[in-house]
Amino acid sequence: MKKNWFASAVAVWGMTVLMSAPAGAQTTHIVTTSGFDFVPENITIQAGDSIMWTDLQAAFHNVVETDCPTSSSSTSNGGFDSGIAGGVDTFTVQFNDAGTFCYICEPHVSLGMVGSITVEEVTPVPTLDEWGLIAMGALLLFCGVRALR
């Protein structure tokens, strides 16, 4: 009976280690402004990552999502929106869904101040540390289950 209790504890510990193996890290990417351009203009990120636009007050910029592709007459599609131009200096949006997202700076869209974000689906590949955790968890689970028999 005592042995069963111990074996169960080891099995539960193994499962806990397995489940605590971290998923892919989330990254915040910076898109700044230079004159009447977003830099970089096009960027590819992983689902779950964030974009932080900076330097929006350099020249009364804002960030407004539009339908793709953008044109000089693009307007808001009701998506993300940093508000009135020059109202904030930084603006951050997290992108959880894969796809392509286009945006403009409203005052300068006629000057070509547009950008796009391509969000790729995350395919988690464990790092070496994570493989170690997974292996340890699997071993503990295996030993615990074996001892229960």
Residue ranges binding Cu ion (CB under 5 A):
61, 105, 108, 113
End-to-end Cα separation, the chain, in angstroms: 12
Amino acid at 15: M
| Shortest distance in whole angstroms from residue 29 CB to Cu ion | 19
**Toward Cu ion, which CB reaches closer, 105 or 141?**
105
Bridge partners for 34 per DSSP: 37
| Shortest distance in whole angstroms from residue 48 CB to Cu ion | 28
Distances (CA, A) of 54 to 75, 103, 109, 146: 21, 15, 18, 56
| Shortest distance in whole angstroms from residue 36 CB to Cu ion | 6
| Phi, psi dihedral angles at 131 (to 5 degrees) | -60, -40
Does residue 94 sit in helix, strand or coil? strand
**Toward Cu ion, which CB reaches closer, 37 or 67?**
37
| Shortest distance in whole angstroms from residue 37 CB to Cu ion | 9
| Shortest distance in whole angstroms from residue 61 CB to Cu ion | 3
**Toward Cu ion, which CB reaches closer, 61 or 95?**
61
137: left (phi over 0), alpha (psi -120 to 50) or beta: alpha
CA nearest to 55, candidates 82, 84, 37, 32: 32
**Toward Cu ion, which CB reaches closer, 17 or 105?**
105
**Toward Cu ion, which CB reaches closer, 17 or 109?**
109
